[in-house]
Structure 1
Amino acid sequence: MEFDRCLFNPEDEISLPEFYQKYRQCLPMLVVVVGGHNGTTEFDDTPSDTIIRYNKFQSVKRALAQDPKTRRNYISIPVNAKYKFNVIKSISTKNKADHTLAEILDTYPLPVLIQFSESQEIPSEGRNREGTPYQLLITHVYEEVFIQGNFITEGKITKHPSSFSLCPLISVAPIQGFTDRTKKEYDKYLKKLEGYVNKNTVFSESQCNLAIKILKPDADELKDVLQTYQNETTVSHPPPSIPVRGQSLKKARQEGDDDDGEDYEVMEQPMEEVDTYRVAAAAGTPSYVNDRLCQVKPLVAGQDDADDEEGDMYEPMENPDENTTPSKPVVISKPDETPPPPRPVEKPNVRSRSLPNTGAPTPKDTTPPARERGHSTSCADEPEHCKKPLVTNTTNAFDIEEKSIQDIGEVLCRLRLNKYVERFEEEMVDGEILAGLSVEDLQKEFNFSKLEAMRLFKYIEKGHIPK
């Protein structure tokens, strides 16, 4: 069956997502690829002018979690994939038993925290540079739809099935018949194809794309998933109506209504105030709450106020003599007000003194100018941002991705790697890109020596600056 013999209407051309919505219940169907696409995988790579017999739609169940590397993208894991996982119940507790993702989703409600089992080879999407598995919080479960069918080339149908993702860049049109045959002959040809496929071809989920994928939030595959989640989290109550100017939303009171209705709440009567400082003891003798802390002498029961004033709690003071001149008040300086340090005495500038004119030329000062602390002697021709003084290292492994290209240049100077500054600026290497480079990448791409690469890699890992 050749493309030139196919009878189809070019106006019926639609993309694969539209084809799924329109012909969901109409398969099997013979189609021709009008607009092909050279995709990144075999599941979205279909050339134009290809004839395909679409047999069925196959759904692949997937679990969605936020990508721990970027915190912006999402990682999509097939539920029926071959990988094993461990359930993390708390920060310090982990279920060491290995389970498939399908078993975990059947047992635990969403969201559920998992990680790849270390008893297998962990994929790159689920581990860090050291090989430690990431902790993934599964928040969504959705289905990715594929179209499964068989190619028809040179009038022959292939025995092995093919799966096609709903790529919006691929468009097809239904075939209505042959240009050189009748409608009856075309229907007979379709029945012959159906009998061959039912006898020789088996379609299953394992023939679809079961790879782990990193998806951006605006990916077509996630639009309906994230939109549904946002709708579920949105409050379903309608907002209150906007009041009309001059009208009140408060209902008018009717006759017979009492103020003691639901608009009021009965309040409990306040209790009598209790002196929390003096509390009566069990024997009737009052004591003090903070006796031990304040070391206050307790009161004696039955003692009058007059006796208290002359007791041990008071110390008699001498009456001031009227003829005695009052002493000068003592000014107590606050502890925070420290006197300013003495101003250093300016030394006379020896060089500025005029030397006696003896006829000999004035000797020039050959002392080299003092360099700023922290700079090596090999930084004579450094870029401007390399000549800044060193700052105490406060970098850690978590803020390296926030550094700019200029910051990375300063880091190279601090590590005495200033000869690579211009190359890093040409390649536009910032903190995000530098965090993804390994020792081998630095040696291969930038011709680092092993020690230089290790020096920079230790800074990337933990902000280490050689002392």
Structure 2
Amino acid sequence: MEQLCDCDYEYDSEDQYTMPEFHQKYKDKLPLLVVVSGGFNGKTVYDEVSTNQVIWFHRVCQQSRVLGRLSNQAVRQYEEFVSIPVHSGHMFNVITSSRNESDPETLEDILTKHKLPVLVRLASEAYDYTLRTVKRYTILLLKTYTETFLQGNCLQDDILLPPPLLLAVSPDISVAIATGYVNKSKDTFHRKLRQISEFVKRNVELKEKEGCKEITLFDKQDSTTGTGNSIPPDLLPSYDEDFMYQDIEPDINWIPPIPPNPGFRPSLPARPPDGLLCQNDTPVDSEMESEKLSHKQSSDVSAGTFNSLTVYDDDESGYNSSAGSVKSYISDMSVEDIQSLLGALNLTKYKKDFRKHLIDGAMLEGLEETILREDFKFKHVEVIRLMKYIREGHMPKQ
């Protein structure tokens, strides 16, 4: 029996397994004492373990998590996905419209009340890099899935260490089952295993639903979910089989309505004949009274009123001579409205990409010209055509 690692335990070098292989073969035969024959310096505490480390694996833990997509990513090559534990203290706001969000709720409550996919925003405090990154965006929750971990305790100098160990089923870690001591009898080894088992039953708390408690970003380079586990097959959405987007059949006869008339002001009263000023239809005869009335009317105009008619200030009236009123109109448009708008603007070839990314009016307002050109491959004149409608409500005359 050849030993590849220098430790106090014997194991068969031909019976080494990667963590996925070990889990597949021995998940129903735990607890077991193993030696790490191939350690790995991973990016998380769940896939970082030293070679020669001796571990007493208690059991397999299954954790429910949710796949989420940072929803402002314009094209797939730049998309980022997140993995969120269902049972955690993180709080989220459900986004019900462009202007409305729910009160903060746990992910478990959200899944009880809503059917996926659902759009949320992280409401919890962002205390690390990942949370600060996630908090900048809205998250489209796509589906639930399960990740597997192995729960155990490490041994040092043949003594079980109190801190619990949670190890991801990482293909970069390999283990072998300990079969005995190097210089001691089999009876001594089996007696030690019984002692460890009894100690664990009395002193180690085995928690249900144990797993990674953090929100993690998928690591596409290492093909992990950010927890140390490999990305499960078929977990990420395939755009050839878009399960999360419903096809929208736009009305080919739909014409976008004209946006509200910006900057409307009531007309001023007609000037009376002979240059005379009137107040409440009463002629002003004297020059002095004319000066008084003129001064009063100037005051009225500066105050925003004239002859019982109000002259509205742009900002206070709700009307704006700039594009503000048009934009507020755009923000209320649905995904279906945007699909029809693209058809009316002769931009039909971009419908599929806009539909995949759930571009509604509020999101359309946030798309800068560089995003349209670089990510959606708009031509320069097409960008101008779309922006003229967004900013001014302009429809090309045919």
TM-score of the two chains, using structure 1 as the length reference: 0.46
Matches within 5 A, 1:230-379: none
Matches within 5 A, 1:17-416: 17-68=20-71, 70=73, 71-95=78-102, 97-117=103-123, 120-121=125-126, 125=130, 133-204=136-207, 208-216=211-219, 219-220=223-224, 221-226=230-235, 398=368
2:91 maps to amino acid:
K
Q: Deviations over 1:136-180 (max 9, x none)?
A: 111111122111111111121112211111121110001112233
CA distance in 2, matches of 1:132, 1:39: 25
1:58 maps to amino acid:
C
CA distance in 2, matches of 1:397, 1:232: 26
**Is 1:74–1:217's contact at 8 Å kept on the other side of the alignment?**
no
2:87 maps to amino acid:
N
1:174 maps to amino acid:
I
**Is 1:115–1:136's contact at 8 Å kept on the other side of the alignment?**
yes
1:112 maps to amino acid:
V
**Is 1:160–1:201's contact at 8 Å kept on the other side of the alignment?**
no
Partner residue, 2:14: 11
2:158 maps to amino acid:
G
CA distance in 2, matches of 1:127, 1:4: 43
CA distance in 1, matches of 2:159, 2:92: 44
Change (3 A) 1:68 1:231: closer
- Say which SS state the counterpart of residue 75 (structure 1) adopts: strand
- How far has the Cα of 1:4 moved from its partner? 3.8
CA distance in 2, matches of 1:123, 1:57: 29
**Is 1:60–1:78's contact at 8 Å kept on the other side of the alignment?**
yes
Partner residue, 1:408: none
**Is 1:5–1:178's contact at 8 Å kept on the other side of the alignment?**
yes
Change (3 A) 1:66 1:169: same
1:108 maps to amino acid:
H
- Greater share of residues in strand: 2
CA distance in 2, matches of 1:69, 1:18: 38
Change (3 A) 1:67 1:123: farther
**Is 1:122–1:133's contact at 8 Å kept on the other side of the alignment?**
no
**Is 1:83–1:100's contact at 8 Å kept on the other side of the alignment?**
yes
Change (3 A) 1:233 1:19: farther
Count of paired positions:
238
CA distance in 2, matches of 1:111, 1:126: 21
Q: Deviations over 1:104-130 (max 9, x none)?
A: 112211111111227x447654667xx
Stretches of structure 2 that go unaligned for 5 or more consecutive residues are 225-229, 244-365, 375-398
**Is 2:63–2:209's contact at 8 Å kept on the other side of the alignment?**
no
- Say which SS state the counterpart of residue 58 (structure 1) adopts: strand
Q: Deviations over 1:314-350 (max 9, x none)?
A: xxxxxxxxxxxxxxxxxxxxxxxxxxxxxxxxxxxxx
- Say which SS state the counterpart of residue 172 (structure 2) adopts: coil
- How far has the Cα of 1:132 moved from its partner? 6.8
CA distance in 1, matches of 2:138, 2:236: 25
Larger relative contact order (Cα-Cα within 8 Å, sequence gap ≥ 6):
2
2:368 maps to amino acid:
F
CA distance in 1, matches of 2:240, 2:54: 40
- Say which SS state the counterpart of residue 181 (structure 1) adopts: coil
- Say which SS state the counterpart of residue 203 (structure 1) adopts: coil
CA distance in 1, matches of 2:6, 2:237: 41
Q: Deviations over 1:336-366 (max 9, x none)?
A: xxxxxxxxxxxxxxxxxxxxxxxxxxxxxxx
| Greater C-alpha radius of gyration | 1
Change (3 A) 1:52 1:126: closer
CA distance in 2, matches of 1:34, 1:166: 15
- Say which SS state the counterpart of residue 202 (structure 2) adopts: helix
2:11 maps to amino acid:
F
Q: Deviations over 1:24-60 (max 9, x none)?
A: 1011000001011112222211111111111111122
Partner residue, 1:420: none
CA distance in 2, matches of 1:147, 1:224: 20
CA distance in 1, matches of 2:107, 2:159: 40
1:223 maps to amino acid:
P
Stretches of structure 1 that go unaligned for 5 or more consecutive residues are 235-395, 405-467
